[in-house]
Amino acid sequence: MTAPLDNIKVVDLSRILAGPWASQMLADMGAQVIKVERPGKGDDTRLWGPPFISPASGEPSASEAASIENTQASAAYFHCANRNKQSIAIDITTTQGQKILKALILNADVLIENYKVGGLKKYGLDYASLKALNPKLVYCSITGFGQSGPSAHKAGYDAMIQGEGGLMSLTGEPDGTPMKVGVALVDVATGLYSCNAILAALLARYSTNKGKGQYIDISLLDVQLAILANQGMNYLATGENPQRLGNGHPNIVPYQTFATRDGNLILAIGNDQQFEKFCRLAGCAELAQSSRFATNAARVQNRKQLLPMLAQKLAMHTTAWWVSELEQIAVPCGAVNTLEQVVKHPQIKHRKMIKQLPDENGDLIKTVASPVNLSDTPLVYKSASPNLGQHTRELLQTELNYSRAEIDELFSAGIIS
């Protein structure tokens, strides 16, 4: 079957997570993604471990881990965002390296980069220079604060953006300190927005833009504000800063975790009918009839009085009992699972969300699949994340017609690896 983005070529100059997340999505959709890395170390996340995944055995020994920079093992972090890609290691600070990269870009459809504002201009790799070289190019720049404004010059990292963009002020227990989310949510969301923008630009190129590419400016701070969703609108509507509620919800009650007899349960009651059914099951039907709790608006206003009473009821039975009984009466709920439990979840297994992909040596490496399922042009899962420079020789030969002698000379000069 044909993949959605067959015949689309992406040159990926991005590192860490946001850019690679976007390019991995494009690679899953069938695009050829050429990951350009620094000779020697490559993407920073190759060393963000342990844990590390060794191409030969799946997990390096303690001695290998201690000298990981001298091995081909890469951190599990790197593998979360770089499957289905080809790796070429080029020193783009050299004239010859820039020549090679521009030759790859000449016939590319997309370029993704996350250098500081203006960081690529000195190499002739800025949008204005590359637009002249390849007018059809869709050029996506990902930065912490955007291409313009008083903070444009600053570097941006997920955790600091979660703080500066307001997400940490909403996360954590009411009497605790602000907390970041347990994954790099802003980076991931930025990757999603970037991929959407790239697909829109490609569609425009084929329809309204008469074959021309365009420039995409994506900022982590902008994304952070955008994904505040209801909390952002809550502030705009009231002018009041939302308060931290732990696992509670600012607009719905009860919609949070509760301790059960043997664990924790997430109770996600979204309307008054569900609340009434829950109360009947829990043996507190009178709460659903009280004017203090009968409507969601009333429950939000009186959450401090209601929640302790519900907590007492929920502690009487096990998590499994509550899930079983609540599912029978269509009240949304779920166990608070560990990742081990999630991976073993029957629904996750049925949906085939954990896949195994071959690396350079044919060893299988586990990966979390894309959630995208297309009926006629399904996504592709070709290979695990590449070793650093794994495809350097192949790409120079097949894409640019370099001879073996020319490639050996570039290797000897340290321009490629």
Q: How buried is residue 345: exposed, middle or buried, by Cβ count under 10 Å (0-12/13-18/19+)?
A: middle
How many angstroms separate the CA atoms of 366 and 347, rounded?
18
For this structure, is 43 an active site residue? Answer: no
Per the structure block, which two tokens stand in for 250? Answer: 């600012």
How many angstroms separate the CA atoms of 39 and 395, rounded?
15
Residue whose entry in the numeric block shows the structure tokens 């429950």? 299
Contact criterion met (CB below 8 Å) for 378 and 29 = no
* Chain CA centroid to CA 123, Å: 29
Residue type, 68: I
Contact criterion met (CB below 8 Å) for 139 and 215 = yes
Alpha helices for 294-345 (secondary structure H):
296-301, 303-314, 319-328, 339-343
Residue whose entry in the numeric block shows the structure tokens 């954990």? 354
Residue 281: which residues within 8 A CB-CB, separation 6 or more? 325, 326, 329, 331
Per the structure block, which two tokens stand in for 23? Answer: 């390019």
Residue 48: which residues within 8 A CB-CB, separation 6 or more? 75, 77, 78
Radius of gyration of the chain (CA): 25
Catalytic residue (choose from 12, 187, 222, 359): 187
Among 179, 119, 169, CA closest to 143: 119
The angle, 0 to 180 degrees and rounded to 10, between the axes of the packed helices 185-206 and 18-28 is: 50
Residue 52: which residues within 8 A CB-CB, separation 6 or more? 59, 60, 64, 65, 68, 73, 74, 75, 76
How many angstroms separate the CA atoms of 326 and 212, rounded?
55
Query: Active-site residues: which are they?
Result: 187
